[in-house]
Amino acid sequence: MNKKYIDDFYNRVSEDKKCEIFALSLPLFLINKDLMVKSENFLKTNYDLLHTDIDVLASLYFNGKDYIMSPTELYDALILSSGGMTKVLKKLQDRGLIKRDSVTNDKRKNLVCLTQKGIELTEEIMDNKALMVEKSFSVLDKKEKENLKNILSKVLYSLN
């Protein structure tokens, strides 16, 4: 983004108290948008995956005990429709990144589990994405990163 537009934006919102809150929200939105676009391009180019695909893999990796979650837990974690989730799970299963198993005492229920291939790919992607995100925040020193993390987590927890 052009520095002139950023300067103009901050000047404008500082002059209008009604718009002052946008000095917080718009930068967050633009940073998120930049990270998402870079991430989407990276995932598509290097792994032929979409963001929703890696979101499922990452949810299983970070949230699931033994990398296992029910489809309902995945829906809740990712805010996807059941139809959208079904398509993503089929794609990931076809690529050997997850497996879906029936619950022993209830054949109607399924669990989704990362395969070893899925674990390895998720770890590789997370390592590469961490490097990419780190570049975006390299303008901050360690103390600034810690402060930002604390501030953002405070706002995030207040959303619930």
Residue 59 lies inside a defined structural domain of this protein: no
How high is the pLDDT of residue 109?
75
Residue 140 lies inside a defined structural domain of this protein: no
Residue 32 lies inside a defined structural domain of this protein: yes
Cα dist from 149 to 140, 143, 146, 153, 154, whole Å:
11, 10, 5, 6, 9
Residue 158 has pLDDT above 80, yes or no: yes
* Mean predicted confidence (pLDDT) in 108-112: 81
Residue 41 lies inside a defined structural domain of this protein: yes
- Taking the C-alpha atoms of residue 57 and residue 119, their distance in angstroms, rounded to an integer, is 8
- Taking the C-alpha atoms of residue 91 and residue 53, their distance in angstroms, rounded to an integer, is 8
How does pLDDT run across 114-154, given as a tens digit for each residue?
999 999 999 999 999 999 999 999 999 999 999 999 999 99
Give the other-Cβ count within 10 Å of 56's Cβ: 28
Residue 119 lies inside a defined structural domain of this protein: no
One-letter amino acid of 98: I
* 3 state DSSP class of 68: strand
Please name the helix (run of DSSP H) or strand (run of DSSP E) that holds residue 111, with its range, or none.
strand 106-114
Residue 131 lies inside a defined structural domain of this protein: no
Could you tell me the residue range of the domain that residue 39 belongs to? Answer: 1-46
How does pLDDT run across 6-28, given as a tens digit for each residue?
899 989 888 888 888 999 999 99
Residue 77 lies inside a defined structural domain of this protein: no
How high is the pLDDT of residue 91?
95
What is the percent of the chain with per-residue pLDDT over 70, rounded to a whole number?
A: 92
Query: Structurally, how many domains does the chain consist of?
Result: 1
Residue 12 lies inside a defined structural domain of this protein: yes
